[in-house]
Amino acid sequence: MREGMNDQVMLVNNGKDFNHENLRQLFDLGEHDLPALLSYANQIRKKQVGNEVHLRAIIEFSNYCSCHCLYCGLRAENRKISRYRLTNQEIFQSVQTAVNYGLKTIVLQSGEDQFYRPDDIARLIEFIKKHFDVAVTLSLGEHFRQSYRIWRNAGADRYLLKHETADPILYQKLRPGKNLQDRIDCLMNLKDLGYQVGSGNMVGLPGQTLTSLIEDVLLMKKLNIEMAGIGPFLPHPDTPLGCYSAGSLSQTLKILAITRIVLPTIHLPATTAISTINDNGRRLALESGANVIMPNFTPLYVRNQYVIYPQKIDIIEDPEKSMKNLKKLLKEMNRTISMSYGHAIKIKKYSYYKKEAYHGFGSQ
Ligand code: 5AD
Ligand code: SF4
């Protein structure tokens, strides 16, 4: 490791004093120093969370969304995609497939779909928890605290809600009608209700500054989140941002590495978006601090309708092929597949689901 870089990493790491200035020094490291930074993050990953890679089965059960995010292909205005909702039967079938492959976490993901009442989702969670030995992660967007409470009581363990960008002005521009503070309030509600919480951001958004990328990491540190989904922005042709360029691989890896350094025990997925910009993206992310992979178990016949951003055809694989490739990659890398639920390190000691009293609607 080059001496200058070493000093900067040590400064950030040892002092446990994470502030805008010392993080900027890491962000400012040039291409020449990048390999050393990534490999340092890889060492921290190994020391803090080991060689295990946690697999989370993602099931995209509805692509309806009432939001208007300028970057996303599922935005309400996009009339070019056909919308679907999986039946409960189809969802359970997908869960069964994931369980057959040994996966221990199911991620239920959808757009912000007003069709479902909180109780519908609660029944779904209860059914899955009753019939399968899995942890359940939800990724359903912004909802009332009371809904989050009902779902937690139904057995949900974790919640993913990326803050997308820590720049409040850019946030409002890119998510018309929404604001960053509401998003942060949701994240705090989720933490308060005992969820393990994931956040994260996109890298290379039009109008995003280096300053705001540093703030992304600091915000996740401040919220003390358990997981961070970090991926490059990828332009979708049927959105208002379709003609902008994608975020870069090296910038994304750099931010992954810095996040690992700042939050050493965090769960960091090698996101699909990273694999989309580079064929080797998954491996590179796993060598830069990542320790989670989220294979897709959405039925293939709707997969091409859940187009947040255009994906390369070769990563839209059936579970058989994708699990085979995944196992091969992990074997080559001397990494093992975790057999546990893969809960956050911080709360491992405790029972993974603590039921809290339900006092009905309106009570906070
Ligand atoms: N490029 C990359 N990521 C995107 N997301 C949405 N649109 C894009 C895009 N064009 C991410 C957001 C969101 C998640 C579901 O997908 O971070 O939280
Ligand atoms: Fe909906 Fe999420 Fe896409 Fe925004 S990013 S349009 S909330 S699915």
Q: Going from the N-terminus, what domains does the chain have, and what CATH number goes with each? A: 19-337 (3.20.20.70)
Question: Which residue in 340, 291, 275, 295 sits closest to 97, CA to CA?
Answer: 295
- Spatial distance between the Cα atoms of 299 and 209, rounded to a whole number of angstroms: 38
Distance 166 CA to ligand 1 centre (A): 15
- Spatial distance between the Cα atoms of 96 and 80, rounded to a whole number of angstroms: 31
pLDDT tens sequence across 92-134: 999 999 999 999 999 999 999 999 999 999 999 999 999 999 9
Say how many residues make up the chain.
364
Distance 146 CA to ligand 2 centre (A): 21
Distance 141 CA to ligand 2 centre (A): 8
Token digits for 229?
A: 């989904």
Residue nearest to atom 8 of ligand 2 (CA): 111
Distance 39 CA to ligand 2 centre (A): 33
Residue nearest to atom 4 of ligand 2 (CA): 69
pLDDT tens sequence across 36-87: 999 999 999 999 999 999 999 999 999 999 999 999 999 999 999 999 999 9
Reduced to 3 states, what is the DSSP secondary structure of residue 309?
A: coil
pLDDT at position 344 is 85
Residue nearest to atom 7 of ligand 2 (CA): 67
Under the banding of pLDDT at 50, 70 and 90, the label for residue 314 is low
- Please report the atom of ligand 1 found closest to the CA of residue 200: 17
- 255 φ, ψ (degrees, to nearest 5): -70, -35
Binding pocket residue ranges, ligand 1, CB within 6 Å: 71-72, 162, 164, 202, 231, 233-234, 236, 273, 308-309
- For a ligand 2 pocket test, name from 62, 65, 306 the mutation site with the most ligand atoms within 8 angstroms of its C-beta: 65
- Please report the atom of ligand 2 found closest to the CA of residue 73: 3
- 60 φ, ψ (degrees, to nearest 5): -90, 95
- For a ligand 1 pocket test, name from 308, 311, 315 the mutation site with the most ligand atoms within 8 angstroms of its C-beta: 308
Contact 223, 187 (CB under 8 A): yes
- Rounded to an integer, the average pLDDT of 258-271 is 97
pLDDT of 250 strictly over 90: yes
> Going by DSSP bridges, is the β-strand pair 158-160/105-110 parallel, antiparallel, or unpaired?
unpaired
pLDDT of 363 strictly over 50: no
CA distances from 114 to 85, 247, 328 (A): 12, 31, 40
In sequence order, what are the beta bridge partners of 228? 199
Which one-letter DSSP state was computed for residue 73?
Answer: T
**CB distance 277 to ligand 2 below 6 Å:** no
Question: Per-residue DSSP letters for 191-215?
Answer: HHTT-EEEE-BEES-TT--HHHHHH
pLDDT of 3 strictly over 70: no
- For a ligand 2 pocket test, name from 79, 112, 183, 307 the mutation site with the most ligand atoms within 8 angstroms of its C-beta: 112
pLDDT at position 345 is 72
- Spatial distance between the Cα atoms of 355 and 125, rounded to a whole number of angstroms: 14
Contact 150, 99 (CB under 8 A): no
Alpha helices in the chain (DSSP H): 3-14, 20-27, 34-49, 88-100, 118-131, 145-154, 168-174, 180-192, 210-223, 249-262, 272-277, 281-286, 300-303, 319-332
Amino acid at 114: Q
Under the banding of pLDDT at 50, 70 and 90, the label for residue 341 is confident
Which one-letter DSSP state was computed for residue 284?
Answer: H
Reduced to 3 states, what is the DSSP secondary structure of residue 69?
A: coil
Contact 296, 272 (CB under 8 A): yes
pLDDT tens sequence across 181-239: 999 999 999 999 999 999 999 999 999 999 999 999 999 999 999 999 999 999 999 99
Residue nearest to atom 15 of ligand 1 (CA): 308
- Please report the atom of ligand 1 found closest to the CA of residue 160: 18
Contact 247, 203 (CB under 8 A): yes
**CB distance 69 to ligand 2 below 6 Å:** yes
Which one-letter DSSP state was computed for residue 115?
Answer: T
